[in-house]
Amino acid sequence: MHATKQRLIGAGLPLLLKHGYNDLGLQALLADTGTPKGSFYHHFRDKEDYALQVVDAYMAQVHAGLDACLGDSTKDPLVRVRSFFEMVQQSYQVEGYMGCLLGGLGQELSGISDVFRQKIEGCLSVIAQNLAGCLTEAVVLGQIAADTDVRRLADLLVNCWEGAALRSRLRRSPSSLDEMLDFYFRAVRVADR
């Protein structure tokens, strides 16, 4: 990827996390990154195209994290699922607990843009799909109930996480994240007692 494009996309995550989409001015982005306007439009069709590509870059990180955390089949599958969210939580900490880019853009834009609505739904859905694979292993091991709809349980986890991430953004604090994970994994593990 061209260095300028990479710089613009790299600047996009913290800026979109802070400002959201509509409050993010292109002028501010160009000034922050020392990019001439023409150069921006060489790499991106418009602001929407830019934000969607920032989401793609974010999802590339998420997929790397999913692969790193979920891939080691010698480890307890529920521990692997939790480790993914703990990794995400560490990145929230680095960012100052600004919450989740997907939740932020999904909330702000899904009332007015079917493009973003479907994009963000697709991102959350593919994360849940990955997690469901690991939850299936937990079912096979008898750690969660045999009749569990793992895909629903994975979507539920993603959704509850998004709510906890919103609260962490409001409070600039991780406590809601820890408490949600504790609650979820305690509940899931006892579901077949």
Task: Work out how close the CB of 139 gets to a second copy at its nearest, in angstroms, rounded to a whole number.
Answer: 16
Least gap, CB of 67 to a second copy (angstroms):
24
The phi-psi region of residue 97 (left if phi > 0; otherwise alpha if psi is between -120 and 50; otherwise beta) is: left
Q: How far is the CB of 161 from a second copy (least distance, A)?
A: 7
Is residue 104 at the binding interface for a second copy, with CB under 8 A as the rule? yes
Q: Is residue 3 within 8 Å of 34, Cβ to Cβ?
A: no
Tokens of 16: 């979109």
Q: Which two tokens stand for residue 105?
A: 């853009």
Percent helix, strand and coil across the chain, each to the nearest 5: 75, 0, 25
Q: In this chain, which stretch among 1-9, 32-40, 82-90, 118-126 interacts with a second copy, using CB under 8 A?
A: 118-126
Report yes or no: 128 and 151 within 8 Å, Cβ to Cβ.
yes
**Does 167 contact a second copy by CB under 8 A?**
yes
Distance in angstroms (rounded) separating the CA atoms of residues 126 and 162: 15
Per-residue contact string for residues 19-58; x = within reach of a second copy by CB under 8 A: xx-xx-----------------------------------
Residues that bind a second copy (CB under 8 A): 17-20, 22-23, 98-99, 103-104, 106-112, 117, 120-121, 124, 152, 155-156, 158-167, 169-171, 176, 179-180, 183, 186-187, 190-191, 193
